[in-house]
Structure 1
Amino acid sequence: MATLTISSKYQVAIPKEIREALHLTPGQKVQVIAYEDRLELIPVQPLHRMKGFLEGIDTEVPREGDRV
């Protein structure tokens, strides 16, 4: 598990092994979510990289009668 330190300006540096594993690049946007007692950092992906990520998902789910 990697750790980081919050600077006096409340800045953090993401450890190299995490940056490489997630293919993060300088200037890339990251969403920050406070969830219970932790922070979650979620890399924002360009829309063109999201193409096809739901391929193969089961769309046959029970629906209420007024939903199409």
Structure 2
Amino acid sequence: MEKATISPKFQVVIPRSVREKLNLKPGQQVQVIPYENRIEFIPLRPPQEMRGFLAGMSTDFQRDPDRL
């Protein structure tokens, strides 16, 4: 488990192993979400990277009768 320290300016350095595993780049934005008793950082990806990520997803499912 990695750990980080909050600086007096409330800055946090993401450990190298985590940056490399998630392929984070300098200047990349992350979404910060407080969740219960923790903080989650979610890397934001440019729309170009999102293209086609749902390809092959099955859309065959039963809808509720009031949703037709």
TM exceeding 0.5: yes
Structure number with the higher helix fraction is 2
Partner of 1:10: 10
1:11-33 CA deviation, whole Å, 9 max, x = no partner? Answer: 10000011111111111000000
Q: Root-mean-square deviation (CA), in Å?
A: 1.2
Q: Show structure 1 runs of 4+ deviating over 2 A.
A: 64-68
Normalised by the size of structure 2, how large is the TM-score?
A: 0.90
Partner of 1:21: 21
Partner of 2:43: 43
What is the total number of aligned residue pairs between the two structures? 68
Consecutive unaligned residues in structure 2, runs of 5 or more? none
